[in-house]
Amino acid sequence: EEFEVDIENYDCPLREWITRERTKTEIRRKFSRFLRKFQDTEDGDLVYRKRIREMCVSNGASLEVSYHDLATREPMLAIWVADAPADMLELFNEVAKVEALKLYPAYEAIAKDIFVRITKLPIVDQIRDIRQAHLNCLIKISGVVTRRTGVFPQLREVMFDCGKCGFIVGPIFQNKGGDETRPGSCPECQSKGPWRVNAEKTVYRNYQKLTLQESPGDVPAGRIPRTKEIILLHDLIDQARPGDLVEITGIYTNNFESSLNRANGFPVFSTYVEANHLSRKSDANAATNLTDEDKEEIRRLSRDPQIARRIVRSIAPSIHGHDDIKAGIALALFGGQEKFVKGKTKLRGDINMLLLGDPGVAKSQFLKYVEKTAGRCVYTTGKGASAVGLTAAVHKDPVTREWVLEGGALVLADRGVCLIDEFDKMNDQDRVSIHEAMEQQTISMTKAGIQATLNARTSILAAANPVGGRYDRSKKLKHNLSLPAPILSRFDLVHVMIDEPDEFRDYALARHIVSLHQRRENAVTADYALPQLQRYIRYARTIRPKLTPEAQKEVVEAYVRLRQGDSQPGSQAAYRITVRQLEALVRLSEALARVHCRKDVLPAHVREARRLLSESIIAVEARDVTLEQGDGFDDDVDDYGPVLPDGWYEAHGRSRPDEANGADGADAMDADGDAGADADAGEDAD
């Protein structure tokens, strides 16, 4: 073992101390020992020797090093790499290359440089919280990629030819992202130019710029999302595209731009993050943020046979009634299971829902509640959401003058929920652009020479007003709707909310609103608090339920029955039962299984999904879609009747609903004993 030099006691700035040769040598020795000897505590494997071998076998150039491992074995190096990352990572890269060449001596012919990527940095900073104190430090931020440029060669080391005597001057290292640096005079003939770039001996590096925007769930209410420029180099290029939710570890640095000085009248530095490591976040690792206590609590809640009813009561508790709509919103938040048939055909798992109704029936309130509840959510309005704002746009980058692709609302809501208010106010051209996004869940863009396909795997929850402002029961649905049939069929659930006078409901609604104004805390009673519900949804979305043979038979019978009740071909129905409603039935059934944290979809889940489907638009469009009597649907039963004081029924000569109807019309999924929770369903969910 070599003699260790004490490098921990220094009396000068850290960056100056690291540049000293004696310190460099000791850092190299310590990091080399770390790569060679760090062992896994469980199986005793040499972790990083194994990773170097795997990297070389796959012809890679990036070696991922866990910050936690480094802090465990070499805490001083871990502190220094966070405080002076530029100098430390340069030394780490040298050591990693040496260790790779020890195992594979000819590897330099494949990868000229090896890059150490720091992972698992413990602290994640918000983009809006980055300040001057973070400059030249290693930081970790997360957000949504909104814009991506092409790949450009960036000058790194430039060699110049003297235009008069031909003498080669250089290498001259260029500032990162700055203006080109040229020599002052030729050492041979003393002339000051002209200069030509020697293309053969000049060293370039690949360069790409991203714009990272705060994730919609992290933006405080009423604030504008902040953005930050990200520079990708080498093999990190093209690792992310617009719409991806990513975590980026990198060096927060600045760059002098003379154009900013002229605009502001004083020296201003533009800041950006030079990425060191990039990882995409998904639902699969969302549940890893839950503690063991959280998971145990969720499994305990899922054993409650009334869990579905309790979750529905916890959705938008300040809104009175509308329990089928709340159930639909809950299922949209849980979502169905995305499937790939033979690796080619994709079947979406996200549930789309449309709320059509008169003014003042809490449509926008439902959307605002989902905005607070969903982890990743984008809220927009139909009038302000043109085709560019909803799908994607092509802009010219002010620096490179190149066309760059920028994602719109549906792209930013990838793997989340997109809320579109005033859906009926969109013009026809804008509405056509979301046809592909709603069913195929992609957005294809061919503009300005850029051909790209972006992901838009999102649930769409839209709200619209009828033609003329109010719903006219004397007219068919298609005359009340300004939406074409292709758009309508892409919604799994379409609820028509009609504001009609009803003494019983009006009394209950007025009592609820008055109590809201009097006792704000006591008037709203939800079975589960919002953070608890969010944790439950995050956990349940990792479960992948499958249809049991009995449930498959139930789905087929339900679809055939709905088709029989459909109007004859040639009628002017605005809403037809198609294969899309069959797929909607499957998605709703899978979401109900997730509500119970079950891995298998039971017939009771299918029956409840069929009931929710029938209670939506089909119940209103009676002239176009009629259901057979005795087919299991009960349109007249109010499952969750409003609770009124006993004196009201006596004063108005009414009988209580539970006395009149016998047993309370509970959820089919809760009433069926077979649909009880699978206590351990989620333990090994992938």
pLDDT at residue 221 tops 60? yes
Residue 667: per-residue pLDDT: 47
Top-confidence residue, 532 or 670:
532
The predicted model gives 430-434 an average pLDDT of: 71
Residue 248: per-residue pLDDT: 92
Rounded Cα gap, residues 225 and 240, in angstroms: 20
Whether 653 is covered by a domain: the verdict is: no
pTM (2 decimals)?
A: 0.70
Candidates 639, 356, 364, 618; CA nearest to 498 is 356
pLDDT band with cut points at 50, 70 and 90 for residue 140:
very high
Residue with tokens 């139930």: 554
423 touches 380 (CB < 8 A): no
pLDDT at residue 13 tops 70? yes
pLDDT at residue 66 tops 80? yes
Whether 555 is covered by a domain: the verdict is: no
Q: What whole-number percentage of the chain has pLDDT above 70?
A: 79
Phi/psi at 188 (5° precision):
-85, -55
The predicted model gives 635-657 an average pLDDT of: 48
Do 65 and 155 reside in the same domain of the chain?
no
Do 159 and 239 reside in the same domain of the chain?
yes
pLDDT at residue 279 tops 80? yes
pLDDT at residue 64 tops 50? yes
Mapped onto helix, strand or coil, the DSSP state of residue 649 is: helix
Q: What whole-number percentage of the chain has pLDDT above 90?
A: 2
Question: What is the pLDDT of the chain when averaged over all its residues?
Answer: 76
Residue 111: per-residue pLDDT: 82
The predicted model gives 552-559 an average pLDDT of: 86
The predicted model gives 312-327 an average pLDDT of: 81
pLDDT at residue 351 tops 80? yes
Q: Is the dihedral of CA 43, 46, 49, 52 positive or negative?
A: positive
Do 255 and 146 reside in the same domain of the chain?
yes
The number of distinct structural domains making up the chain is: 2
Q: CA-CA-CA-CA torsion for 529, 535, 538, 540, nearest 10 degrees? A: -80
pLDDT at residue 232 tops 50? yes
pLDDT at residue 177 tops 60? no
Chain centroid to Cα 98, Å, comes to 39
Name the β-bridge partners of 248.
141, 278
Rounded Cα gap, residues 603 and 625, in angstroms: 24
**219-233, 253-267, 414-428, 624-638: which has the minimum mean pLDDT?**
624-638
The predicted model gives 203-220 an average pLDDT of: 82
The predicted model gives 62-66 an average pLDDT of: 89
Whether 46 is covered by a domain: the verdict is: yes
pLDDT band with cut points at 50, 70 and 90 for residue 318:
confident
pLDDT at residue 87 tops 70? yes
Do 215 and 71 reside in the same domain of the chain?
no
Whether 640 is covered by a domain: the verdict is: no
The predicted model gives 149-162 an average pLDDT of: 80
Residue 251: per-residue pLDDT: 92
**165-169, 499-503, 644-648: which has the minimum mean pLDDT?**
644-648
The predicted model gives 261-275 an average pLDDT of: 73
The model's pLDDT over 103-133, given as tens digits with 9 standing for 90+, comes to 888 888 888 888 999 988 888 888 888 888 8
Do 109 and 38 reside in the same domain of the chain?
yes
DSSP 137: S
Residue 435: per-residue pLDDT: 80
Q: Which long-range contacts (CB under 8 A, 24 or more apart) does 21-28 make?
A: 24/91, 27/77, 27/80, 27/88, 27/91, 28/91, 28/94, 28/95
Show the tokens assigned to 586.
Answer: 């499957």
Do 139 and 275 reside in the same domain of the chain?
yes
**239-253, 468-482, 531-545, 596-610: which has the minimum mean pLDDT?**
468-482
Mapped onto helix, strand or coil, the DSSP state of residue 654 is: coil
pLDDT at residue 353 tops 60? yes
Phi/psi at 289 (5° precision):
-75, -10
The model's pLDDT over 181-211, given as tens digits with 9 standing for 90+, comes to 677 778 778 777 777 877 777 777 888 888 8
Residue 277: per-residue pLDDT: 92
Residue with tokens 């990572």: 89
Whether 37 is covered by a domain: the verdict is: yes
Whether 241 is covered by a domain: the verdict is: yes
Show the tokens assigned to 454.
Answer: 């972006």
The model's pLDDT over 582-633, given as tens digits with 9 standing for 90+, comes to 888 888 888 988 888 888 888 888 888 888 887 776 555 544 433 333 333 3
Show the tokens assigned to 511.
Answer: 């009592």
Rounded Cα gap, residues 323 and 329, in angstroms: 10
Top-confidence residue, 180 or 166:
166
pLDDT band with cut points at 50, 70 and 90 for residue 565:
low
Phi/psi at 141 (5° precision):
-130, 160
Residue 548: how many CB atoms within 10 A of its CB? 17
Residue with tokens 């031909």: 166
Q: Which long-range contacts (CB under 8 A, 24 or more apart) does 473-481 make?
A: 473/498, 476/572, 476/574, 476/621, 476/623, 476/624, 477/574, 477/575, 477/617, 477/620, 477/621, 477/624, 478/572, 478/573, 478/574, 480/356, 481/356, 481/424, 481/574
Whether 255 is covered by a domain: the verdict is: yes
Do 179 and 223 reside in the same domain of the chain?
yes
DSSP 504: H
Residue 4: per-residue pLDDT: 59
Residue 249: per-residue pLDDT: 92
**381-395, 406-420, 482-496: which has the minimum mean pLDDT?**
381-395
The predicted model gives 416-428 an average pLDDT of: 81
Residue 673: per-residue pLDDT: 43
- Put residue 441 in one of left, alpha, beta given phi > 0 → left and psi -120 to 50 → alpha: left
Do 57 and 180 reside in the same domain of the chain?
no
Do 80 and 175 reside in the same domain of the chain?
no
471 touches 464 (CB < 8 A): no
For position 109, which CATH number holds?
Answer: 3.30.1640.10
Residue 294: per-residue pLDDT: 80
Boundary residue ending a domain (119, 148, 168): 119
pLDDT at residue 671 tops 60? no
Residue 286: per-residue pLDDT: 56
Q: Which structural domain range is residue 228 located in?
A: 127-281
Residue 250: per-residue pLDDT: 92
Q: Per residue in 99-116, is it b (16+ CB within 10 Å) or e — as a string?
A: bbeeebeebeeebeebbb
Whether 532 is covered by a domain: the verdict is: no
pLDDT band with cut points at 50, 70 and 90 for residue 653:
low
Boundary residue ending a domain (65, 88, 119): 119
pLDDT at residue 49 tops 70? yes
* CA dist 554 → 51, 127, 511, 581, 601 (Å): 50, 50, 41, 14, 11
* CA dist 337 → 175, 340, 352, 594 (Å): 49, 10, 14, 9
Do 107 and 179 reside in the same domain of the chain?
no
Boundary residue ending a domain (81, 99, 119): 119
User: Where does 84-205 have alpha helices with state H?
Assistant: 85-103
Q: Which long-range contacts (CB under 8 A, 24 or more apart) does 263-271 make?
A: 270/229, 271/130, 271/135, 271/228, 271/229
Do 232 and 139 reside in the same domain of the chain?
yes
Q: CA-CA-CA-CA torsion for 588, 282, 598, 377, nearest 10 degrees? A: -40
For position 202, which CATH number holds?
Answer: 2.40.50.140
Pairing verdict, β 600-601 and 546-547: parallel
Do 90 and 149 reside in the same domain of the chain?
no
Q: For the chain, how big is the Rg over CA atoms in Å? A: 31
